[in-house]
Amino acid sequence: MHLTSEDIDAIWLTLKLASLVTFLLIIISTPLAWWLARTQSWLKGPINAIVAMPLVLPPTVLGFYLLLFLSPQGAIGSIMSNMGLPPLPFSFTGLVIASMLYSLPFVVQPIQNAFLAIGKGPLEAAATLRSSPLNRFFYVAIPLARPGYISAAILGFAHTVGEFGVVLMIGGNIASETRVISIQIYDHVEALEYGQAHTLSLLMVAFAFIVLAFLYGVQKHQKSKAVSGGLL
């Protein structure tokens, strides 16, 4: 069992992609999850549905529409090319955007459920302790939602590592740019390099096991439904 430099490149690229996507998703999901957890607006249902759609849609569908929108002829792509920006399909940036959409529910939902689990009690208590709305968000809501953040980060990262269909559609297969582990395994199999495919595949299996075992470990420790966000 050994890894070629291309394999190492793919692993490195995957980790870079998953870290960046997780980081950005946590930032974006925090206000979104907070809003979804508190709002009485009629928009709550539709927005919830949009966030959850990547859970049921085939990744190829998501990738296909992203390709259409982001290509230089597409709605967003044409605006970007008019502004002189490079096209997003088949680039690392495009892959980050696609992965964020694809992994969105895995990050939003655990955080949203953690916010819901807090209830209004601690926040009302903070309000009577001279804590302003923003202050109680940062000093009460976010710390209390920590188990939700842990599982959101784990699930968002792991799910991004495991994606294939979306990458293939929007990212293609460019070394050090869009060729992540799952694509590299596909390439090895196509080239009948089963030994190489085995090495990477076993790594992925071990990774998935460790991540999930850790997640359930945290969940048992915290005794909280909020940890997995109801996804597992």
Partner 1 sequence: MTPADDKKALHIQITQPASKQSHFSLDINLQLPSTGVTALFGPSGSGKTTILRHIAGLEVSNSSHIRLDDTIWQNSQTSLPPHKRPIGFVFQDANLFEHLTAEGNLRFAMKRAKKDQSVISYHDVIRLMDIDSILAQYPAQLSGGERQRVAIARALLIQPKLLLMDEPLAALDETLKQDILPYLEKLCRRANIPIIYVSHSLDEVIRLADHMVVLDKGRVVEEGDIHTLLGKLGTSFSRYQDASVVVVGTVTRHSPEWGLSWLTIGNQAIAFKQGNEALGEPVRLRIQSRDVSITLDKQDGSSILNRLTAVVDDIERDPKDPSQTMVRLMIDNTAILAKITAFSAHQLALQKGQSVIVQIKSVAVLS
Q: Which of 140, 153, 169, 183 binds partner 1 (CB under 8 A)?
A: 140
The smaller minimum CB distance to partner 1, of residues 2 and 130, is found at 130
The reply on whether position 217 binds partner 1 by CB under 8 A is: no
Report the residue from 127, 203, 211, 218 that binds partner 1 according to the rule CB under 8 A: 127
Tokens read off for 180: 């992540």
Torsion of CA 203, 205, 211, 216, to 10 degrees: -160
CA 111 to chain centre: 13
- Binding-site residue total for partner 1 (CB under 8 A)? 19
Q: What is the 3-state secondary structure (H, E, C) of 71-112?
A: CCCCHHHHHHHHCCCCCCCCCHHHHHHHHHHHHHHHHHHHHH
Instruction: Say how far apart CA 161 and CA 109 lie, in whole Å.
Output: 19
Task: Using CA atoms of 30, 170, 66, 108 in order, give the dihedral in degrees to the nearest 10.
Answer: -20
| Residue 8 lies near partner 1 (rule: CB under 8 A) | no
* Closer residue to partner 1 (CB): 144 or 231: 144
- Least CB distance from residue 28 to partner 1, whole Å? 24
Q: How far is the CB of 132 from partner 1 (least distance, A)?
A: 5
Measured from the CB of residue 41, what is the shortest distance to partner 1 in angstroms?
Answer: 17
Interface residues with partner 1 (CB under 8 A) are 121-122, 124-133, 135-136, 139-140, 143-144, 146
